[in-house]
Chains A and B, each alone.
Chain A
Amino acid sequence: MADKKELAPELKEMLKEEYSQEWRKELRKSIPAKERMKISRKKMPERSPEVRNQDFNEVNLGLPAQLAREEAKRCLDCANPQCVLGCPVGIDIPSFIKLIEIGDFTKSVRKLKETNSLPSICGRVCPQEVQCEEVCNLKKATGVPVAIGNLERFAADYERENGEVFIPKLPPSTGQKAAIIGAGPAGLTVAGDLARKGHQCTIFEALHVAGGVLVYGIPEFRLPKKILEAEVDYLRQMGVGFKMNYVVGMTASLEDLKKAGYDAFFIGTGAGLPNFMRIPGENLIGIYSANEYLTRVNLMRAYDFPEYDTPVYLGKRAVVLGGGNVAMDSVRTAKRLGAEKATIVYRRSRKEMPARTEEIHHAEEEGIEFHFLTTPIKFIGGENGKVKAMECIQMELGEPDESGRRRPVPIPGSEFIMEVDLVVVAIGNSPNPLIPQTNPELKVGKWGNVEVDWDTMATSIPGVYAGGDIIRGGATVILAMGDARVAAREMDRYLNALKRTKGKKKKKETR
């Protein structure tokens, strides 16, 4: 994976231009940097833990306008903004923040949408603390970065809540058609970018609701469905077509779609194949993959059973295996569904947990328990094939492995029994096999991931691009969107070049 250390020249140019605008100069002068550095970071209001862990409503409440403008003042509007470098999609962060500072929220969100089709989602689920906020110059100076994520969320929410959603003027249609496979974060981003370039986009989605992991995986309390719906609606208004209940690879092959007139393809089918522990008893009743557990609850609305037909096990002693964001989502869901004890069992220590700090913090507040340096070695069944206990072993940390994290090593003789009646396995996913399986000429790596040229996201088939978890095997929403931006840029080039050759051919034929 190529790390972007340098900004693209066009982006650099644009940032400079915005930076040198008169109003920005004046704004910078109006409050000296020293004063700005004295302002404390504004905390986003959130619902109290004992209330929120009883329902599925959103935990964070968003910054009120006044606080958002105060927070925006903290941004130093640096000449050399590191935050933009830290953002996988390269948002012009200083510009949108300064627009918030002067109170022009509408312009701020338009600025955001120039580079990011899904700001209200990214404002909620991006790990800003390891991206834009990690490299923020204010962090270097004071230790506390600008709350970029909270501000992004504020601007996007303001637009939606005030009914001012702006649909950009689209260029004349190029007549070129792009097929986008998977309506997850990567697919939605590619569609937004290509639609803005005048290409006709159709998204093919296997499930009956658009959003991919944003709808089946991330729970309502972290990303309300109505927000996702608004973002999808925005794309619809931009002319993006959606074909739901359509499994590319099964309903039609890439070849079929090519014959049907699609000129370029984007594969964003995600990491749709759950990993299991591969230990005895794993198929007992009450043991779920995180994908199944979350899909039952979020997509199929098992929390409204029996009004909705899909049931889910309601454990009293729920255990979630894993330490990532999906594990946090699962364990907090189990708590909300009435678990008396909801516990994370993770084989390394707290320090190595890949989940966002905010999610771990929220989980702790909500009464989630953590068992570190522990891993199950066997599931024990009780009545009717249901899981009733888990044999675990304690671990200690040894030498670092290839990921740089210290490898957990079992401590002999430390086995113990933990009583459980619900287990969710959240130890990652592998890329979904359907498209590679049905397209043998598509080159895949040893984990089943589609192989791409990381500079262009091009696969081994000309005109076919890929991004997100299908190439990474289990990463984040924003990395998928970053891949999608690169892919969309390249697909735009490819489609325009194709149009030129098509035009030439036509001319020849008419002669």
Chain B
Amino acid sequence: MAKILQRERLVPNIHLIEIHSPEIARKCQPGQFVIVMPDEKGERIPLTIADWNRDKGTVTSVFMVVGTSTHKLSLLKAGDEVPVFVGPLGRPSKIEKFGTVLCAGGCFGIAAIYPIARALKEAGNKVITLLDVKANYLLYWEDRLKAVSDKFVVSSRDSFFNCKDYIPRVLGDILKKEKKVDRVISVGCTYLIYTCSEATRPKGIRTIVSLNPIMVDGTGMCGACRVTIGGKTKFACVDGPDFDGHQVDWEELFTRRKSYFEDEIDSLNYWEKINFP
């Protein structure tokens, strides 16, 4: 059992959860994830690690409410316990001095890209952070991200940030303006990381995407998370989650992510009927 220290709604549908787990806090690196189960009947869901405090032994994740298990997780309070909180899993993101690195995040990925941007900054890179939100009230952690960025841009579908657009075009503009971008890293929902990856493809800029397929055990045992990278099947949990975006079979990933679309609805309906009759 792992104790929840904090659970907070950051913006509509996106929640932060901070958990006491000294062992994971001691080991985790940017880009890694944990697997959490909200209760004994829940699914094992992978969440990217968004922050940690090695001294206090805490690990923070930010997640979007999608299905039953994330719903349950969003209702837990400080002091509650979760039966499973295991990690850190996956290979850490590659952090070294690349030169100029553009970090693109959206949705839960705004938080998930934070430790990556921070580590890249510490490694001496020029960090450009590009966040994408549907509307201004969906932005969070901008102060944290600004603090580790040389340049900070937000694109949104309203006119609030003077950048009424969707991320790939904004990304394209930045690439045109910047003298040289050595690497792009993208974390967030599948469509966002896909479009980012497509935006850099013509220029051949190395683009790393953090993939988020369905997982069960997270340790290589089941193969639920298999993705095709450069024509070869890889397991996102042990071979990734970071991959070269230009090598990903995106269509397959989109399809596989929807494997249980109908079951998810049934499950949620059942859970709502039981809990909110």
Please determine whether A384 and B23 come into contact, CB atoms closer than 8 angstroms. Answer: no
- Which 6 residue pairs spanning A and B have beta carbons closest together? A385-B255, A311-B263, A292-B222, A272-B221, A306-B270, A245-B86
CA distance A233 to B89 in the complex (A): 29
B276, CB-defined interface residue at 8 Å: no
A206-B84 Cα distance, complex, nearest whole Å: 10
**What residues of chain B lie closer than 8 Å to A272, measured between beta carbons?**
217, 219-221
21 contacts between A and B (CB under 8 A): A208-B37, A245-B84, A252-B23, A272-B217, A276-B233, A289-B223, A291-B221, A291-B222, A292-B222, A292-B223, A295-B221, A296-B216, A300-B44, A306-B270, A306-B271, A307-B41, A309-B68, A309-B271, A311-B260, A311-B263, A434-B220
Give A310 to B271 CA distance when docked, in angstroms: 13
- What residues on B are CB-neighbors of A416 within 8 Å? none
Q: Which residues of A contact B37 (CB under 8 A)?
A: 208
> What are the residues of chain A within 8 A of B258 when measuring CB–CB?
384-385
- Among A207, A283, A432, the residue within 8 A (CB) of B252 is A283
Are B267 and A305 interface neighbours, CB within 8 A? Answer: yes
Per the bound structure, the CA–CA distance linking A252 and B221 in Å amounts to 19
Identity of the chain A residue whose Cβ is nearest the Cβ of B39 in the assembled complex: A309
A247 and B224 contacting across the interface, CB-CB below 8 Å: no
8 Å CB interface, A237-262 against B: 245-247, 250-252
B contact residues around A288 at 8 Å (CB): 223-224
Does residue B83 face the partner (Cβ distance < 8 Å to A)? yes
Contact B256–A207 (Cβ < 8 Å)? no
Task: Check A90 for interface membership: any CB of B closer than 8 A.
Answer: no
Number of interface residues of A (CB under 8 A): 39
Q: Is B69 an interface position by the 8 A CB rule? A: yes
Q: Which of B217, B222, B256 contacts A283 (CB 8 A)?
A: B256
**Cβ of A334 to closest chain B Cβ, rounded Å:** 17
Q: Give the interface size bracket for B toward A.
A: 35 or more
Given A385-B256, A433-B220, A433-B238: A208 in contact with B87 (beta carbons within 8 A): no
* Chain A 361-402 interface 0/1 with B at a Cβ cutoff of 8 Å (1 = within): 000000000000000000000001100000000000000000
Contacts of A273 in B (CB 8 A): 220-221
Per-position binary interface string of chain A over residues 261-295, scored 1 when its CB falls under 8 Å from any chain B CB and 0 otherwise: 00000000000111010100011010011011001
Contact B223 A206 (CB under 8 A): no
Q: Is A447 interfacial (CB 8 A cutoff)?
A: no
Are A285 and B68 touching (Cβ within 8 A)?
Answer: no
Chain A residues lying within 8 Å of B85, measured Cβ to Cβ, are 245
Q: Write the A209-224 contact mask toward B (1 if CB under 8 angstroms, else 0).
A: 0000000100000000
Contact, CB under 8 Å: B86 / A276: no
Q: Does B24 contact A (CB under 8 A)?
A: yes
B31-56: which residues lie under 8 A (CB-CB) from chain A?
37, 41-44
B88 interface residue per 8 A CB criterion? yes
B30 CB → nearest A CB, Å: 15
Minimum Cβ distance to chain A for residue B123 (Å): 23
Question: CB within 8 Å of A: which of B248-277?
Answer: 252, 255-256, 258-260, 263-264, 266-267, 270-271
Closest chain A residue, CB of each to CB of B35: A245
B221 and A283 form a contact (CB under 8 A): no
A292 touches B219 (CB 8 A): no
A306 CA to B238 CA, complexed, in Å: 29
- Which of B's residues lie within 8 Å of A, judged by CB? 2, 23-24, 27, 37, 41-44, 67-69, 72, 83-89, 216-217, 219-224, 226-228, 233, 238, 252, 255-256, 258-260, 263-264, 266-267, 270-271
Q: How near does chain A come to B45, taking the closest CB pair, in angstroms? A: 9
- Assess whether A247 is in contact with B216, with CB atoms less than 8 Å apart: no
* Shortest distance between the CB of B55 and any CB in chain A (Å): 18
B267 touches A309 (CB 8 A): yes
Q: Is the CB of A206 within 8 A of B217?
A: yes
Chain B residues lying within 8 Å of A283, measured Cβ to Cβ, are 226-228, 233, 252, 256
Q: Give 13 A-B pairs besides A206-B86, A295-B222 with Cβ atoms closer than 8 angstroms.
A: A207-B217, A208-B86, A247-B87, A251-B27, A252-B23, A285-B256, A285-B259, A292-B223, A292-B224, A295-B216, A295-B217, A305-B267, A385-B256
Which residues of chain B are within 8 angstroms of A307 by Cβ–Cβ distance?
Answer: 41, 270
**Which residue on B lies nearest to A243, using beta carbons?**
B23
Closest Cβ of chain B to A225, distance in Å, is 13
Is A247's CB under 8 angstroms from B256's CB?
no
B228 CB to closest chain A CB (Å) equals: 6
Residues of B within 8 A of A216 (CB): 217, 221
A251 neighbours in B (Cβ, 8 Å): 23-24, 27, 86-88
Cα A385 to Cα B260 in complex, Å, equals 12
A260 CB, nearest partner CB in chain B, Å = 10
**Bound form: Cα–Cα A140–B84 in Å:** 52
Q: A246-B23, A250-B27 are in contact. Are A310 and B256 (CB under 8 A)?
A: no
CA distance A246 to B87 in the complex (A): 7
Cα-based distance from A11 to B88 in the complex (angstroms): 45
Bound complex: CA A305 to CA B266 (Å) = 9
A-side contacts of B89, CB under 8 Å: 247, 250
Q: Which residues of B contact A295 (CB under 8 A)?
A: 216-217, 221-222
In the complex, what distance in Å separates the CA atom of A246 from the CA atom of B26? 13
Q: How far is the CB of A274 from chain B (nearest CB, A)?
A: 5
Q: Give every chain A residue within 8 A of B259 (Cβ-Cβ).
A: 285
Establish whether residues A432 and B27, one from each chain, have CB atoms under 8 Å apart when the complex forms.
Answer: no
- B222 to chain A: which residues have CB within 8 Å? 274, 289, 291-292, 295
B159 to chain A, nearest CB (A): 37
- Is B220 touching A432 in the complex (CB atoms < 8 A)? yes
For the complex, what is the distance from the CA of A300 to the CA of B224, rounded to whole Å?
14
Docked complex Cα distance between A345 and B252 (Å): 26
Task: List residues of chain B with CB within 8 A of the CB of A291.
Answer: 221-223
Contacting residues, chain B, for A301 (C-beta < 8 A): 41
Chain A residues lying within 8 Å of B84, measured Cβ to Cβ, are 208, 245
